[in-house]
Amino acid sequence: MQQKIMALRYLVSALALSAAFSLVCFAQQAAGDKKPAPQVKEYPSTRVEALVLEWTRARDYTKEYLDAMPEDGLGFKPTPEIRSFAEQMLHLAAANFNFAARITGQTNPYQGKNLEKMDELKATKAALSKVVLESYDFMITGIKGMNDAKLDTRVPVANMNRPLIAALAAAFEHQTHHRGQTTIYLRLKGVTPPGEKLFSS
């Protein structure tokens, strides 16, 4: 019986000692290894500034897709009847130009041209990337020239008078849709697509 009591005392002492060491280590870590909390930025306070931020994020994300595709993958099609990688990106760019011109009043620099059919834009990654990123810059520049009140102006789009902010939302959804489609193109070329980029940093 006495041996059991002694063993129990040793066990309790060992647990107490272990707990004490753990507390000391925790206190030292808390005091010495304190990392500064990440700085939290404020989201833009106006809708125009927010749109510029989000379209800039979209531009940067699309560039990651363009950079990821090997040069020899520009003409790649997962199946014969659909667009090639380059044509998907050029379709995206054409829509950016068209939406931006309609919504912001700028003159579309490619008015009347079918970007998907322009072989010179599909020949190299440099040429393709240039026009696609130019389409985002065109949109961003146009948005910067607007104000929040202008975003509520209604214009006829697809048989309905819609506020410009709604048309911009459709434009954003369109570029997201076609960029997303190219994920499978990259996978089939043995390339890991860029990671999700839901938020601007």
- pLDDT tens digits, one per residue of 26-38: 445 555 567 788 8
> Are 99 and 167 in contact, with CB atoms under 8 Å apart?
yes
> Are 83 and 163 in contact, with CB atoms under 8 Å apart?
no
**Residues 9 and 103 placed together within one structural domain of the fold:** no
**Residues 112 and 153 placed together within one structural domain of the fold:** yes
**Residues 62 and 156 placed together within one structural domain of the fold:** yes
CA 125 to chain centre: 20
pLDDT at 200: 83
201, part of any domain: no
pLDDT in tens, 90-100: 999 999 999 99
Joined together, the tokens standing for residue 89 give 């990106």
**Residues 81 and 29 placed together within one structural domain of the fold:** no
Looking at per-residue pLDDT, the higher value among 22 and 46 belongs to: 46
Please give the share of the chain, as a percent, with pLDDT higher than 90: 79
Query: 159: left (phi > 0), else alpha (psi -120 to 50), else beta?
Result: left
Looking at per-residue pLDDT, the higher value among 201 and 64 belongs to: 64
Question: Which residue range forms the structural domain that includes residue 111?
Answer: 47-188
- Residue 136 sits in a domain of what CATH number? 1.20.120.450
Looking at per-residue pLDDT, the higher value among 200 and 16 belongs to: 200
Q: What is the mean pLDDT of residues 80-91?
A: 98
**Domain count along the chain:** 2
Global pTM value? 0.81
Burial of 62: CB neighbours in 10 Å, binned 0-12, 13-18, 19+: buried
198, part of any domain: no
87, part of any domain: yes
pLDDT at 167: 96
**Residues 18 and 65 placed together within one structural domain of the fold:** no
pLDDT in tens, 7-25: 444 433 444 434 444 444 4
